[in-house]
Structure 1
Amino acid sequence: MFRAIALISSVDNMLDATNSPVGYDFITFWSAGYLALEGVPEAAFIRERIVEIQQLAVPGNDTVFLWHYPPTFMLLTTVLAAIPYLASYFLFIGGSFLFYVYSLKRLFQHRYAILLIVAYPAVYLTMVHGQNSLLSTGLLACAIVCFRSRPVLAGVFIGLLAFKPQLGVLIPLVLIVSQQWRVFWSAAVTTGVFVGLSLTVFGWELWDIFFQNMSVVKSLMGQGFLLSEKMPSLYITLKMIGFGDHFAYVMHWGMASGVVGVLMWLWYRCGPTNMAFAALIPAILLILPYLFDYEMTLLAIPIALLAMDMADKGGVFWEKAILVCGFVTPLILAGIGQNYGIQIGFPVIFSLFILAVSRAVSDVRKTKDV
């Protein structure tokens, strides 16, 4: 939070002390939307064209921000680009923050929950970066709130995650193994409508360009052009300590396969319990090689679920220590990575996954004993 205040106070002509634009990544969203309004959405994937629009949005900006998002998200950025850049940024971040607070407050109906929800450091990373993690966290929280009482609506919230499809890859699997068919079909229909709308507006060609662009992202990661200190994936963690690209990928996908296997077994045995949801969200992050620290905003949900579970049933020291680490890590992750060349984010996310699985299994055993 203090870093956010410091950055805002250093802004001059929409540029901070590092000559980067207010909102950082948001300039990519706005610029892609601007190109879509101009009738050339495919130009968002062309470096020279999107840099040209970024200069139009914030003259003097020296940083290049590339576009890697699907046409589903471009539907939203097209609306955002209809108003000037700075107003659009505050509208997007302010609206996303209010949605995040509202959604998590409904999920965690405790008088002090709002304090932890607002104080979580990853929230401010998302706001400073102008990213969309508050939106995705809010959608997941709404889905969990509605899951049992209004399964069709829960599926709608899950389907809307198609604006960032990598966050929804595991959800159909756990819905199938736990036989949550009403949620599954609602999510499938919503996703289909969302994708269909993007096809109607932008055509098939933009989706083809999006899929081709994935190789560009892989190349940028492999060549070390991205900020590794801000990327808490196992792939980047191994790269930072000196392992080769191929080995890091093999180990990452091996770990991801194990996480998916454990998660599916857990949902098969437990169904949609709070601890199953607490395991699902870190699992979603663990399988992604391309992952930035602001996505840790999603961990607000499992951290709060685990904290509530411990408040109700008790917890040992190591469990509480993992929760504390999960809460503070987004604040210190980049600094430790930059100064010491190690990535602490991955082991913390993995520990939260193990903690959630452990408590879920413990609940199953206690139920059997009863």
Structure 2
Amino acid sequence: MIPALAMSFYIWLILVTTIPYPGKIGLDYNTLGTDWMVFYGAIRSVLDGNAPLIFDGDRFTDFINTAFAGWLSAPLEFRPWAYPPSFLLMLLPFAPLGFFGSYVAFQIVTAAALAVALRAFAANSLTSGALFAAVLICPASAINAINGQAVFLVAALIVGGFALLERRPYLAGLVLGLLTFKPQFCILVPIALVAAGQWRALLASGLSALAMMIASGLIFGWDLWLRWLPLIIENLVSPNEKWIEYGRMWGHSVYTCAVLIGVPQRLASWAQLLATLGAAISVVIAFRSRLGIREKIAIFLAATVLAAPHSGPYDGTLLVIAAAFWLMARAAPLPLWCWTLAFMVWLLPILSPPLVFPVGRTAPLFPVLLIGLLLRPAGPVEGVKAPVPAG
């Protein structure tokens, strides 16, 4: 715990020193909220009647560099908008707060939502607070706050949605359907629901995603969807080289790590596809098993990170939650190797991005390890068991 806390203190210190002294004690993040500039810049552009701008990566990057010149310590290389228009609905309430106010408010609100979701898996308020504190102070969460990313919201929707699955399947589906705001993190949701035989939740998740699409079309105009859909299809078939260079290669997906160890891009794409298929199979096995819902969520979190074609160091927060659920589900006392593995998951974001730190290229091994350990019978389990269907 001592080295873990020391690492967390270090990365949070980077957050505090980024504006006055960017890059002086660690990676140069340029300034705080560079990813939030993309989110805030997109919603402001749409509200100001300049929606087409967000679909032109080069012009949108120039707009960000101009609009936030006073915040940036250097111009950004390439920051396109790649999210579905439904994400704009979630950003709309924060738009009137200005850039910095909306940046801080979004982090606080989404962290609070995650705290509420995690309470479902704590035996008491003390355990709940300790679990949330461990997740909140981890290095991945600090990087999420530095960038102004949305991993707290992603984690809250996954944990909260599946926590509701047995008791309130319709509400669970509505919550899980909101994950479509980041498509790379929702691809396993229908697979999990079908494997669990949760047809009501599956229907509700589809209706939720459809409602988000209709609402965004009615509020912002259908032209956004008519522009976004062909753009995404084009990027899937023939990815933008700038996005690969300045976006995808700064993550730690299977594709990225494979390319960085010398695998040809085409073969790396196949490796990513196989990882996605393996992640989907693990989710099917988990949700058809007698594992407790906590272990199932842990497997889903790890599989989601493994399957994502693009993920960043901040997405390590999902793995920290998965590791915490794995530790909670094991019978006490826990052997030292369990804590060591959890510490390595905790440490991983500090050794990212793999483009800079070669040891970070082992990142895909950690979700694989967690999935394997969670699926492997490990004696008495403390997790909440899913009910066995009658007959």
What TM bracket, shorter-length normalisation?
A: 0.7 to 0.9
1:289 Cα deviation after fit: 2.0
Distance 1:286 1:221 in 2: 23
Within the candidate set 67, 75, 80, 1:56 is matched to: 67
Deviations 1:241-264 (A, max 9, x none): 111110111122123223322321
With normalisation by structure 1, the TM-score equals 0.87
Residue of structure 1 equivalent to 2:323? 303
Within the candidate set 164, 174, 182, 1:164 is matched to: 182
Within the candidate set 41, 44, 58, 1:31 is matched to: 41
Q: Which amino acid aligns with 2:364?
A: F
Q: Which amino acid aligns with 1:22?
A: L
Contact 1:319 1:355 in 2 (8 A): no
Contact 2:351 2:359 in 1 (8 A): no
Q: Which amino acid aligns with 1:162?
A: T
Distance 2:62 2:209 in 1: 31
Structure showing the higher helix proportion among its residues: 1
Contact 2:12 2:139 in 1 (8 A): no
Contact 1:270 1:276 in 2 (8 A): no
Q: Which amino acid aligns with 1:24?
A: T
Task: Determine whether 1:181 maps to 2:199.
Answer: yes
Task: Determine whether 1:89 maps to 2:88.
Answer: no
1:181 Cα deviation after fit: 1.9
Distance 1:175 1:19 in 2: 38
Task: Determine whether 1:288 maps to 2:308.
Answer: yes
- SS of structure 2 residue aligned to 1:67: coil
Distance 1:221 1:252 in 2: 20
Contact 2:84 2:228 in 1 (8 A): yes
1:79 Cα deviation after fit: 3.4
Contact 2:84 2:225 in 1 (8 A): yes
Residue of structure 2 equivalent to 1:5? 13
Instruction: Give identity over the alignment, percent.
Output: 20
Contact 1:34 1:81 in 2 (8 A): yes
Task: Determine whether 1:20 maps to 2:34.
Answer: no
Within the candidate set 112, 130, 147, 2:165 is matched to: 147
Distance 1:96 1:317 in 2: 33
Q: 1:24 to 1:60 in 2, by over 3 A?
A: closer
Residue of structure 2 equivalent to 1:254? 274
Q: 1:203 to 1:359 in 2, by over 3 A?
A: farther
1:57 Cα deviation after fit: 3.5
1:240 Cα deviation after fit: 0.3
Distance 1:206 1:266 in 2: 37
1:131 Cα deviation after fit: 0.2
Q: Which amino acid aligns with 1:52?
A: F
Contact 1:282 1:299 in 2 (8 A): yes
Deviations 1:334-359 (A, max 9, x none): 3x651437512111122112122224
Q: 1:324 to 1:143 in 2, by over 3 A?
A: same
Task: Determine whether 1:321 maps to 2:340.
Answer: yes
RMSD: 2.8
Q: Which amino acid aligns with 2:277?
A: S
1:223 Cα deviation after fit: 5.1
Residue of structure 2 equivalent to 1:122? 140
Distance 2:285 2:111 in 1: 34
Q: 1:274 to 1:309 in 2, by over 3 A?
A: same
Distance 2:329 2:134 in 1: 15
Residue of structure 2 equivalent to 1:274? 294
Contact 2:252 2:361 in 1 (8 A): yes
Distance 1:169 1:114 in 2: 26
Residue of structure 2 equivalent to 1:70? 84
Q: 1:182 to 1:294 in 2, by over 3 A?
A: same
Q: 1:317 to 1:161 in 2, by over 3 A?
A: same
Q: Which runs of 5+ in 2 are unaligned?
A: 1-7
Q: 1:175 to 1:10 in 2, by over 3 A?
A: closer
1:203 Cα deviation after fit: 3.4
1:308 Cα deviation after fit: 0.7
Q: Which amino acid aligns with 1:55?
A: T
Q: Which amino acid aligns with 1:104?
A: L
Question: Number of aligned pairs?
Answer: 360
Q: 1:232 to 1:360 in 2, by over 3 A?
A: farther
Contact 1:160 1:190 in 2 (8 A): yes
Within the candidate set 247, 266, 270, 1:226 is matched to: 247
- SS of structure 1 residue aligned to 2:284: helix
| Residues 320-329 or 213-222, more deviating | 213-222
Q: Which runs of 5+ in 1 are unaligned?
A: none
Deviations 1:17-64 (A, max 9, x none): 558332111001110011111122231122214522442234363114
Q: Which amino acid aligns with 2:313?
A: D
| Residues 269-278 or 20-29, more deviating | 269-278
Contact 1:16 1:22 in 2 (8 A): no
Q: 1:125 to 1:53 in 2, by over 3 A?
A: closer
1:204 Cα deviation after fit: 3.5
Distance 1:26 1:288 in 2: 21
Contact 1:143 1:158 in 2 (8 A): yes
1:130 Cα deviation after fit: 0.2
| Residues 56-65 or 218-227, more deviating | 218-227
Q: 1:362 to 1:250 in 2, by over 3 A?
A: farther
1:315 Cα deviation after fit: 5.3
1:167 Cα deviation after fit: 1.0
